[in-house]
Amino acid sequence: MTRTLIKQGEQLTITVPDDIKQRIDHFLLTQFPMYSRSFFQRTVEQGQITINNKLVTKAGHLVKEGDFITILVPEASSNNEVINTADLGVQILYEHPHFLIINKPAGLLVHPIHGRPEEVTLTDWIKQNIENISRVGYIDRPGIIHRLDKHTSGLMIIARTSYGYAQFSKLFFNRTIEKIYYAIARNHPSQSGTIDFPIGRHPTQRTKMTTFSSPTTTKTRHAVTHYKVAQYFKDAALLRITLETGRTHQIRVHLAAIGHPIIGDVVYGTISADMPRPALHASELRFIFDGKEYTFKAELPLDMQAYIKTLS
C-alpha cells in the first residue's frame, strides 16, 4: 500500500508487511514513492523515526516483518521575532500555485547553519513572503528543495505546497531538472570538457571538499561536470556549465582540480581584488512539471558583468 504526503505535525505508524527485510530508507520509499530516498535518509538522521518505539538514526537499519515504524514530523516552532527581509534583494521571477522561481543574490545564505544562527537567510525571506509555507518540507528550511552556496547568485525553485515539494524532490532525485551555470575561470581551459573526479570531504580541512583520482575507502561521491567555453579573455574564460550530479561545491572543486579555479573563490582558488566573491551564477532552469515544460533564465548579475568588462 503506497501513501501520499507526510504533513508537519502528523504522526504516522506503519506495520512492515510479510516477507519484508530491507533498509528503512528503501522500505519507506516503497510506501511514499513521491519522495526521494535522500528525503528519508535525512528524516532518519534527524531523529524523526522510531521502530518498535526505539529511536533509529541510521538509514541502513534493517526492518523486518511485523516491525512498526512511527514517523513523527513536529509542528514548526513558533517564533514571533520579526526579521527585516525587505532589503535582501530576492527577486520573484515566476509564480505558480505549487512553486516560485526566484533569483537569489550573491551573499545570501539559503538556510541557517551551525555556528551562525543569527545570520539572516533566504529561509527568513521565505517565511515572511510565502503564505502557509511552514508546513512544506523541513521545519528549519520550509520550501527549500535545493540550494546554492551563499556567494553564488541565480535561479532557485521554492516549493509553495507539499505537492510541489514532493514532485520537485522526485525530479531532483531522478536528475531530470536541467541546471545551467556560468562561471569566470582563471586562464584558458580547453574549448569543452567533462570533469568526473569523485568528490568527498577534505581529510584535514573539514569545511572544504576535495577531489579524488578514484573512489577510495573515504566517503566519496560520483560527480560529473560538463563545460563549454563561451568566451576567452586574456587570462580568463567565461564557461557555460551543466551538471549531471549535484555535490557540495561541485563546480568550484572540479574547476580547481583541473587548474582553472573560479575567479574570486578564496576557498579553492585565490583572492581577486576586482571580484570579491566566486564568479558563479545559476543562469538557467529547465524541467517538466505536471506535463508542462518550463524554462527560466536569469542574466549575469551586475558584479559579474562589470568584471567581464575589465577583462575585455
Higher per-residue confidence, 73 vs 145: 145
Which of 8-12, 29-33, 57-61, 115-119: highest mean pLDDT?
57-61
Name which of 250, 147, 248 is nearest 196 in CA terms: 250
Chain centroid to CA 179:
12
Region 11-72: CATH code = 3.10.290.10
What is the pLDDT, as a whole number, of residue 292? 98
Mean pLDDT of the 177-187 span: 97
Region 179-283+305-311: CATH code = 3.30.2350.10
Ranges of each domain in the chain: 11-72, 91-174, 179-283+305-311
If one counts every other C-beta atom within 10 angstroms of the C-beta of residue 50, the result is: 15
Q: What are the residue numbers of the active site?
A: 149
Whole-angstrom Cα distance, residue 145 to residue 166? 9
If one counts every other C-beta atom within 10 angstroms of the C-beta of residue 255, the result is: 26
Whether residue 9 is predicted with pLDDT greater than 70 in this model: the reply is: no
Domains 91-174 and 179-283+305-311 agree in fold: yes
Higher per-residue confidence, 75 vs 128: 128
Residue % of the chain over a pLDDT of 90: 59
* DSSP assignment of 123-182: HHHHHHHSTTGGGSEETTEETBSS---TT-EEEEEEE-SHHHHHHHHHHHHTT--EEEEE
Whole-angstrom Cα distance, residue 291 to residue 297? 20
Region 91-174: CATH code = 3.30.2350.10
